[in-house]
Amino acid sequence: MNSGNLFARARRRIPGGVNSPVRAFRAVGGEPVFVKRAKGSRIWSVDGVELIDYVGSWGPAILGHAPPVVVSAISETAQRGVSFGIPNPLEVEMAELICTWIPAIEKIRMVNSGTEATMSCLRLARGFTKRDKIVKFAGCYHGHADSLLVKAGSGALTHGQPDSAGVPRAIAGETIVLPFNNIEAVRAAFREDKDQIAGIILEPIPANAGLFFPREDFLHQLREECTRNGAVLIFDEVMTGFRVARGGAQQLYEIRPDLTALGKVIGGGLPVGAFGGRTEIMDQLSPNGPVYQAGTLSGNPLALAAGLAQLRELHRIDGWRLLEDLGAKLESRLADAISGKELIFHRIGSMFCLFFASGPIFDLESAQRSDTKKFAQFFHSCLEGGLYFPPSQFETAFISTAHSDEDIEQTARVVREALTRL
């Protein structure tokens, strides 16, 4: 058994041979690596190759792979049942923890994925405001719900299909797409569609078209415009929630959104999502209100046990300080290799991206100046050197608390060598 044979078998039974498009290596060429096992900061392929991993299941593995505290929580919980479809105590514990750590979330509902969370936020915003239109930003990816697959990031961007087939024009027509960091475009949209915009959804730190940041006051200005126009401000913190800080990006930027979508870290590596916010909005959900949302596996005990164990361990070890230290060390070790080249290194805490472009990069258009062919060469060179980075220029890499100083030093050395060979 090796990756090549598995991929050939997969293509016969799975569309494209993968269960999520970016895994197919189309953006970098070659064939995907199949993982046999993972532990700490490392993965081992079925081909017997050991790699330092910077994908981390696309963010959830913030303590590294298979951390004992999470594995133990899953094992102990599984002994009592893996799914009930009936309320269980872990749902209450997770709700209380999240509402304590993120003050903008007064009530919360569990779902099974980030896509479910963002999709539910849109329905809730529309039901609460009794308006239909939604504003999103080009390059921000919020899952594959119809309303949101309009100039999306992540796999949709990588594969050159920002507007997916199968999305009805009538639904796409209710989505207004604007350039990130452009507050004047937002104000113009509110003027043009007065009293029609239900809400604005965004990644407060976009991480699905590479990684770039909000300009000073942009998020505060969005808050002001939503308040002024009676629209709901929705932060998609599926990726940044509990990753960039205990209270997510909204803690860092001191913004209080009306609704927040969460996922990734709160499941400890198991499928999970959640959305929450102001009580008066959340109480519009059934069974209290007229906005319907449901899920047979929502609040799954295994996922919540894993997530609670991970969050509590992060808090116990002050994981966010450790992650910042590791991220800062990597950035420092790469500074000389990047200096003077058409390269931009963006990092916030344990999230980072190396753009093969000249700066500044602050929105989708500027990110798309990147040389994707050079990135592909860089990716494969790093892979040969023992590093597994996301296989796309337009994805973000993740450090875990399991990464060691030695991992960071090895990573910096391999990256420098790969850049020298370009």
Query: Cα–Cα distance between 293 and 22 in angstroms, integer?
Result: 29
Pick the catalytic residue from 53, 236, 363, 407.
236
Partners of 150 in beta bridges: 163
The answer for residues whose C-beta is within 8 angstroms of residue 211's C-beta and 6 or more apart is 205, 346, 347, 348, 351, 352, 353, 396
Q: Where do the DSSP E strands lie in 226-299?
A: 232-236, 259-263, 273-277
Q: Supply φ then ψ for residue 57, to 5 degrees.
A: 60, 30
Q: Supply φ then ψ for residue 353, to 5 degrees.
A: -150, 135
Which tokens belong to 88? 């269980």
- The one-character DSSP state at 149 is -
Determine which helix (DSSP H) or strand (DSSP E) holds 218, and give its type and residue range. Answer: helix 218-229
Pick the catalytic residue from 133, 136, 151, 264.
264
Answer yes or no: are the C-beta atoms of 172 and 146 closer than 8 Å.
yes
163 included as an active-site residue: no
141 included as an active-site residue: yes
Partners of 78 in beta bridges: none
Query: Cα–Cα distance between 235 and 262 in angstroms, integer?
Result: 9
* Residue for token pair 């309303």: 147
Pairing of strands 50-53, 42-45: antiparallel
Answer yes or no: are the C-beta atoms of 197 and 176 closer than 8 Å.
yes
Residue at 130: amino acid letter:
K
Nearest by Cα to 330 from 229, 214, 230, 410? 410
Answer yes or no: are the C-beta atoms of 395 and 22 closer than 8 Å.
yes
264 included as an active-site residue: yes
Query: Cα–Cα distance between 235 and 241 in angstroms, integer?
Result: 10
Pick the catalytic residue from 54, 133, 136, 141.
141
Please tell me the chain's helix, strand, coil percentages from 3-state DSSP, rounded to the nearest 5.
Answer: 40, 15, 40
Query: Cα–Cα distance between 181 and 367 in angstroms, integer?
Result: 13
Please list the active-site residues.
141, 236, 264
